[in-house]
Chain A
Amino acid sequence: MLAIDLLSWFCLISGGLLGTIGAIGMHRFPDFYTRQHAAGVTDVLSAFLILLGLGLQAGLTLAAFKLLLIFMFLYFTSPGASHAVANAAMHAGLKPMADKQD
């Protein structure tokens, strides 16, 4: 029982830290497309860790199933959303920084 609590506590804290690191990354990266990577980190992996930590806390109940549904939805739509933003930005002519140097 203690092992599950420890594991879920570790998942929760690492998810929170990862989210913060990703958010800091969104400020430090120079260009929109690099910031999109940082946003992706906070969106998918820290969500997965936090929801996994909560699921471990909930055990095999309806709440854990709802958490799984939330994660499955986020897992499929977050990449789609960031792809849509990057695609719209590219179509609007927002050049990535790499293009400017050469």
Chain B
Amino acid sequence: MFIAVCLAILVTMSLALARALMGPTVYDRIAAANVFGTKTVLLIAVFAFLSGRMDLLDIALVYALINFISMVAVLRFVKYGEFHSSPDDDKVK
């Protein structure tokens, strides 16, 4: 039963990855990467139950946290073009 759900999640992840590769705009890619990350969280959770090791759920939780932070970081990078310059120095944009 868990294997069926694992396969369904893997199919979803591959479709999201295909959307990320084909996506015309960069924001499609970011959204597809977000879906991919969330599905990884679910895959780890289902695999924790498949293998019976419950301590994998912590990894799923940490992955969900990092996925959100990486989303915001990539968006900020796309918006400002780089990280190193502090926003207050006057730079000809």
B57 and A63 contacting across the interface, CB-CB below 8 Å: yes
A88 and B12 contacting across the interface, CB-CB below 8 Å: no
Interface residues of A in 56-83 (CB under 8 A from B): 57-58, 61-63, 66-67, 69-70, 73-74, 77-78, 80-82
Size class of the B contact interface (CB-based, 8 Å): 35 or more
Interface residues of B in 30-85 (CB under 8 A from A): 30-32, 34-35, 38-39, 41-42, 45-46, 48-49, 54, 57-58, 60-61, 64-65, 68, 71-72, 75, 78-79
Centre residue among B32, B35, B45, B58 by max chain A CB count within 10 A: B35
B5 and A15 contacting across the interface, CB-CB below 8 Å: yes
The 22 sampled A-B contact pairs (Cβ below 8 Å) are A12-B1, A12-B4, A16-B4, A16-B9, A20-B15, A23-B13, A36-B31, A42-B12, A50-B45, A53-B5, A54-B46, A57-B49, A63-B57, A67-B45, A70-B45, A70-B64, A73-B61, A74-B41, A84-B72, A88-B27, A89-B25, A92-B27
Size class of the A contact interface (CB-based, 8 Å): 35 or more
Give the shortest distance, in Å, between A78 (CB) and chain B (any CB).
7
Q: A27-B19, A36-B31 are in contact. List 20 more A-B contacts (CB 8 A).
A: A16-B12, A23-B12, A24-B15, A26-B32, A32-B28, A32-B31, A42-B12, A50-B45, A58-B54, A66-B58, A66-B61, A67-B45, A70-B45, A73-B65, A73-B68, A74-B38, A74-B64, A77-B64, A80-B68, A92-B78
Residues in A whose Cβ lies below 8 Å from that of B71: 81, 84-85
Q: Mask for A10-32, Cβ within 8 A of B = 1, else 0?
A: 00110111011011101100001
B27 and A19 contacting across the interface, CB-CB below 8 Å: no
Give the shortest distance, in Å, between B60 (CB) and chain A (any CB).
6
Could you tell me the distance between the alpha carbons of A63 and B47 in the complex, rounded to whole angstroms?
A: 13
A50 and B65 contacting across the interface, CB-CB below 8 Å: no
